[in-house]
Structure 1
Amino acid sequence: MKKYKSIIFDIDGTILNTEKMNLIPLKQLIKEEKNIDMNYEDLLFALALPGKKTLEKLGFEDIESSYNKWVKYVNEYEEGATLFDNIDCVIKDIYSNNILCGIVSSKNKAQYDIDFMPTGLHEYMSAVILEDDTMNHKPHPEPLEKVIEKLKINPEDAIYIGDSLYDYKCAKSCNMDFGLALWGAKNPKDINADINLKNPSDLLKLIID
């Protein structure tokens, strides 16, 4: 199995389980503003997109106002973001083996501060690229191109770990290997990943003999 100098992570569905805290408030917002009862499963696509892009796809008119309301509902949702089992220990192990860790996420800076900063894992990240940092977003290669520029590595020396088809396409468009986080993936059969990872500890096989 190939070894890497850097492991770059998506956040939602990869490090953090944020599915319910994002989709249940979104379902509530759609009912309030559009009077439509959408099935939970039909909203799973939103997990791979920036929030405002999700609202555009759903046909909201006042994107800014609706987005702010959605964020409010998310922040009020009782079941907040939680770490997937053992992912924090794995990231710390990767870091201790002198492997560069990075993040490419569709979260904006405000969401990152609320959801990710409390985990304490930010200090292990050598570069972080969020929605605010690029003109183009996944599946466009720009976010990964920007993170490897910050890390000062070549794409073939890194692997991007994510849970969605957008993550996969972003990696491939950047000529980077992709590892599928099966613990968070909703449609794994649609993704032809270079490596399928059953649980977070499988990541250690990418860096340790």
Structure 2
Amino acid sequence: MTIKYILFDLDGTLLDTNNLIIESFQHTYRQHLNKEVTREYILESFGEILRITLERECKDCVEEAIETYRRYQIENFDRLITIHTGVKEVVKSLYEQGYKLAVVTSRLNESALRGLKHFHLESYFECMIGADDTDRHKPDPTPARMALEAMGGTPEEAIMIGDSPFDIQCAQNAGIISAVVSWSALPPEIYMVHKPDYVIDSMEELVEIIEELNRK
């Protein structure tokens, strides 16, 4: 087996956007529903496409709620976003070793690119598939397949890393090795039920897993 292509989720995997997402939802529900919600309540829909969540929560004001959410994110992006430990170093190393890297995210491309640029990561990724590239989203395999097609790869040559059940299922549905990060904001019982191939405790461990797979 030879791994050549590495697909990363963005939110919660490479970048810590948890507080940004949670505060954005809380602000939106406060504005449109006069409703206070807990962090745990919001975590239940983590990884889901924004429109799907807000269509369920704000049936009568979906477009307005989406606009409120996105405006809050734009205004508070730099204040609330951070990068997970080891991400920049490992991503740079993988790129320099010749691996082809992609971001597969449920975030809009413009917003995802802003996050990558904020931490000077954008040049390491050959491809990015965002929410505006397809109307079929994780856990559907389409976004992962689109990324591989854009890079000229096959599922057998790839591994996909994420932090939610949506990421694990997307990889599995596409026939790609799945890995979940233990720094996910979700409790392990939420994602372990989907039986990812690997659980990684650090970005350095991801490198070890890829090297192990390439020795098989």
TM-score w.r.t. length of structure 1: 0.93
Identity of aligned residues (%): 25
Amino acid at match of 2:29: I
Aligned counterpart, 1:166: 166
Point out the more displaced range, 177-186 or 195-204: 177-186
2:52 maps to amino acid:
K
Query: Is the CA contact 1:12–1:47 (under 8 Å) kept in the aligned structure 2?
Result: no
What residue identity is the alignment partner of 2:93? D
Q: Which amino acid aligns with 1:88?
A: K
2:34 aligns with 35
Runs of 5+ unmatched residues, structure 2: none
- 1:105 lines up with 2:108 in the alignment: no
Looking at structure 2, the residues matched to 92 and 37 of structure 1 have their Cα atoms a distance apart, in angstroms, of 41
Secondary structure in 2 aligned to 1:149?
helix
Is residue 10–residue 104 contact of structure 1 (8 Å, CA) maintained in 2? Answer: yes
CA contact (8 A) 2:32 2:61 kept: no
- Measure how far apart 1:112 and its partner are: 1.5
Q: Look up the equivalent residue of 2:24 and give its one-letter code.
A: P
Note the alpha carbon deviations across 1:142-186, whole angstroms, 9 max, x for none: 101111111111101101000000111111111111011111251
How many residues end up aligned between the 2 structures? 208
Classify 1:6/1:201 alpha carbon distance in 2 versus 1 (closer, same or farther; 3 Å): same
Question: Aligned residue for 2:206?
Answer: 203
Flag structure 1 segments of 5+ consecutive residues without an equivalent. Answer: none
CA distance, structure 2, for counterparts of residue 172 and residue 185 of structure 1? 21
Q: Distance between the aligned counterparts of 2:153 and 2:114, measured in 1?
A: 29
CA contact (8 A) 1:159 1:179 kept: yes
Q: CA deviation at 1:38?
A: 1.4
Within 5 Å, give how 1:8-157 maps onto structure 2.
Answer: 8-77=7-76, 79-157=79-157
Q: 1:62 to 1:110 in 2, by over 3 A?
A: farther
RMSD: 1.6
